[in-house]
Amino acid sequence: MSEQYEAIVIGGGPAGLTAGLYLMRGGIKTVLLEKVLPGGAPLNTGRVENYPGFPEGISGRELMERFAAHAKAFGLPVREFSEVQTVSLEGTRFTVTVNDATFDTAGVIVASGTEPAKMGIPGENELIGRGISYCATCDGMFFKDLEVAVIGGGDSAIEEALSLANIVKKVYVIHRRDSLRAQKILQERAFRNPKMEFLWNRRPVEIAGKSQVESLVIEDTKTGRIEDLPVSGVFVYVGYRPDTGFLGDLVQRDPAGFIITDEGLATKTPGLYAAGDIRKKTLRQISTAVGDGAQAAVSLERYVLGADR
Ligand SMILES: Cc1cc2nc3c(=O)[nH]c(=O)nc-3n(C[C@H](O)[C@H](O)[C@H](O)COP(=O)(O)OP(=O)(O)OC[C@H]3O[C@@H](n4cnc5c(N)ncnc54)[C@H](O)[C@@H]3O)c2cc1C
């Protein structure tokens, strides 16, 4: 016999924890299913400076511990190490399965975020964890006083390059264009940092090394010249991809795989909502994930109480 709920939230990042908090305050019987531990992407972020209410900034970990404590204060049950495998619909009820349990629910909020995209170049798969990383906050200390490369030119790349510069000897930023996409304030800090060197109009073509990263092979996109950059670490920030396979055809996706929702964050299946980075949107931040979590919870609550049926 599967456990019965009114709402299931998939994912315990900023969007999911906010949705859970709102649902509990709304008196909706809810469980949050989290693949690992609650907190989401900000657990792997150094300092968060743009979440309102923290003028001095706050570590991503502390912020998310506060999110989780707040949701739990309203009684939200969080089931850790519960990766959702499938979501299916029979009549008006959803069945959600994790590795060791099955749940029955009237409504679902998908808030499972994104994963770092890979570069897809030779050497990458072979050397993950041996010099290739997608998380400077997690792995930066392994490269103390060494030279590393950061791939990318957006906010994540530059934020992480700046935090690496506090630890390592030198950070090369490899970017395929001749200017950054990152926010101006981050750019200014990065350009001022004596440990950072920018290699513009370059694209990585191979990561070389036997059992550890030894160098990054880059191509000048203007001249085609190939260069071998000796580095001990390569940190990759070339975008993020959604993993929505467990939803089958219950949702509509954009060409990149993000879930398409309406203004109330409903998907094409009544009772199924998407919130946070997993959905098609133009700004992926903690503040927008929080807004999404609140909106999806209120939409689901109305649906469960019959107002939207
Ligand atoms: C390096 C970096 C720096 C950043 N810096 C900032 C910043 O300074 N300020 C800012 O506002 N934003 C920042 N962001 C963006 C911010 O972290 C995200 O926009 C935000 O975390 C999105 O929240 P979310 O809840 O949608 O997803 P996530 O935070 O990604 O949470 C998703 C959760 O779902 C879980 N999950 C995934 N699949 C399943 C499954 N099948 N079953 C169960 N659980 C699952 C995951 O384990 C995870 O806990 C940064 C992101 C990165 C990567």
Q: pTM of whole model > 0.75? A: yes
Q: How confident is the model at residue 2 (pLDDT cuts 50, 70, 90)?
A: confident
In this structure, which residue's CA is closest to atom 19 in ligand 1?
A: 285
- Opening angle at CA 274, ends 272 and 278, nearest 5: 145
139-195: pLDDT as tens digits: 999 999 999 999 999 999 999 999 999 999 999 999 999 999 999 999 999 999 999
59-109: pLDDT as tens digits: 999 999 999 999 999 999 999 999 999 999 999 999 999 999 999 999 999
Whether 271 and 226 share a structural domain = no
Domain count, the chain: 2
In a domain, 13, yes or no: yes
Whether 106 and 127 share a structural domain = no
In this structure, which residue's CA is closest to atom 47 in ligand 1?
A: 35
Look at residues 182, 201, 236 and tell me which one is the last residue of a structural domain: 236
> Which residues are designated catalytic?
135, 138-139
81 and 35 Cβ atoms separated by less than 8 Å: yes
Distance 284 CA to ligand 1 centre (A): 9
Give the domain range for residue 127. Answer: 118-236
Whether 33 and 95 share a structural domain = yes
List Cα–Cα distances, 139 to 78, 124, 131, in angstroms.
27, 16, 9
Our mutation pick for probing the ligand 1 site, out of 189, 284, 288, 295, counting the most ligand atoms within 8 A of Cβ, is 284
Whether 127 and 98 share a structural domain = no
